Amino acid sequence: MIVRIAILLLCAGGLYASAFMFRKSLRARHGEIAGPTVVKTPRAHVIAGIPNSAFGLAYYAALAVATPFLHVAPLFWCAFAGALGAAAFSLYLAYSLLFVTRMSCPYCWSSHAINWSLVLLLWLARPQ
């Protein structure tokens, strides 16, 4: 039960960070943000030009909805596969932040830490 509450809390944090960055990417698209920002880089829109934060919004919301049902093995394994995918994508984006963009982004790092933590917590919540 405590693990599932932790998962929900992390999903809430991820939703907040994703919503903040999604709004920022929309503002950047409309020319409302002057100067360089991570949301203006190509790595902020890796898949089909869609902001990465939009995928984060969908992922965290879906995982939060699935959390009460993690005892159902097929649903758990789908959630776990999604978490592994998100964590792997976070590794790519973290590398990009450190070595390509070289920009500060606390919301990005928060999301990365959340994604990596969710993998561990989901593993602890796996059906026995």
In the chain the domains, ranked by start, together with CATH numbers, are: 2-124 (1.20.1440.130)
- Give the separation between CA 111 and CA 13, rounded to whole angstroms: 8
Listed residue (85, 93, 127, 125) closest to 110, CA to CA: 93
Query: Partners of 47 in the beta sheet?
Result: 50
The Cα-based distances of 34 to 13, 18, 47, 50, 128 in angstroms read: 27, 21, 24, 21, 52
Tens digits of residue pLDDT in 50-72: 999 999 999 999 999 999 999 99
In the predicted structure, residue 36 carries a pLDDT above the cut 90: no
What is the arithmetic mean of pLDDT over 19-44? Answer: 91
What is the arithmetic mean of pLDDT over 29-56? Answer: 91
pTM over 0.75: yes
Residue-averaged pLDDT of the chain: 95
Q: Which residue has the tokens 């590794």?
A: 91
CB count, 10 Å around CB of 79? 24
Q: Tokens representing 102?
A: 């070289």
Q: At what angle do helices 2-29 and 52-66 cross, to 10 degrees?
A: 160
